[in-house]
Amino acid sequence: MRSWRGQNAGSSARSCFAAIGEAAAAGLSGLALVVAILLASGAHDRVQAADCGDVARPGLNWSECSKTNIMLQGSDLHGANLAGVHFDSTDLSNANLTLANLEKATLVRTWLKNARAEAANFSRIEAYRSDFTNILATGARFVSAELQRAEFGGAQLANADFQKAELGRADFEKAVLTGVNFSLANLSRATLSGATIKGPVAFDGAFMFLTRIEGLDLSAATGLTQQQISLACGDKSTVLPAGLKMPEGWPCPPDDKD
């Protein structure tokens, strides 16, 4: 029986010859035939690019691979291509994901506690109820990520980008949020109280229905409007940007965690 690689190579070769045959049948010129060969060869290279059987190591390519419900804690995946990988219920605690590309990956109920992920790309991931507790993700990108009920307690997120992210009921208690971009993010019922903010944070267009901001110093925040503040939940210790005032409805009642 041929190996997967052999079967795949044979299939790709047949595709290559089929493309050449079609080009020849269409009466294409010699130059067009060469282009067809190169394109077919390039498609074969792309198929071979991801090695799902490779062991965890820096710079590997697991794009679109299935790595669900396995133990990868402490793995060194520095600079790895993990785009579209399936990490659902996988333990990535203490892993090194620095500069890794996880765009469109699924990490539902995944553990990334104490992981390193400086400048990693988490854009458009699905990570419902995932644990990012104490993650070091300075400068990481979470653009358009699905992060409902995710735990970011104690996370180092300075200069992280959460534009357009879904963060309903996400918990950022004791996280470092200085320089974070929450523009157009959904922060409904998210907990920012207890986070460390020592500089600007962008809230332009963010949806802040019952967002917990008790005790936060938001004096340097940008993009906040009175309408957002009126929807959010603060208290007398919340410091607002100049021109905004504490709503009469503050403080809000305790949130129903269910």
Q: Is residue 150 in a domain?
A: no
Q: Is residue 9 in a domain?
A: yes
Q: Is residue 129 in a domain?
A: no
Q: Is residue 36 in a domain?
A: yes
Q: Which domain holds residue 17?
A: 4-49
pTM above 0.85, yes or no: no
Running DSSP on this structure, what letter comes out for residue 232? S
Among 40-44, 188-192, 201-205, 209-213, the range scoring the smallest mean pLDDT is 40-44
* Radius of gyration of the chain, Cα coordinates, nearest whole angstrom: 24
pLDDT digits (tens, 9 = 90+) for 72-129: 999 999 999 999 999 999 999 999 999 999 999 999 999 999 999 999 999 999 999 9
Q: Is residue 10 in a domain?
A: yes
More confident residue, 5 or 82: 82
Q: Count how many domains the chain has.
A: 1
User: Shortest CA distance to 212 belongs to which of 161, 176, 173?
Assistant: 173
Write out the DSSP string of 41-104: HHHHHHHHH--TTSPS-TT-B-TT-B--S-B-TT-B-TT-B-TT-B-TT-B-TT-B-TT-B-TT
Q: Is residue 38 in a domain?
A: yes
C-alpha torsion angle, residues 248, 184, 186, 252 (rounded to 10): -10
Q: Is residue 32 in a domain?
A: yes
In the predicted structure, residue 16 carries a pLDDT above the cut 50: no
At 257 the pLDDT is 66
Q: Is residue 15 in a domain?
A: yes
At 226 the pLDDT is 98
Q: What percent of the chain has pLDDT over 70?
A: 80
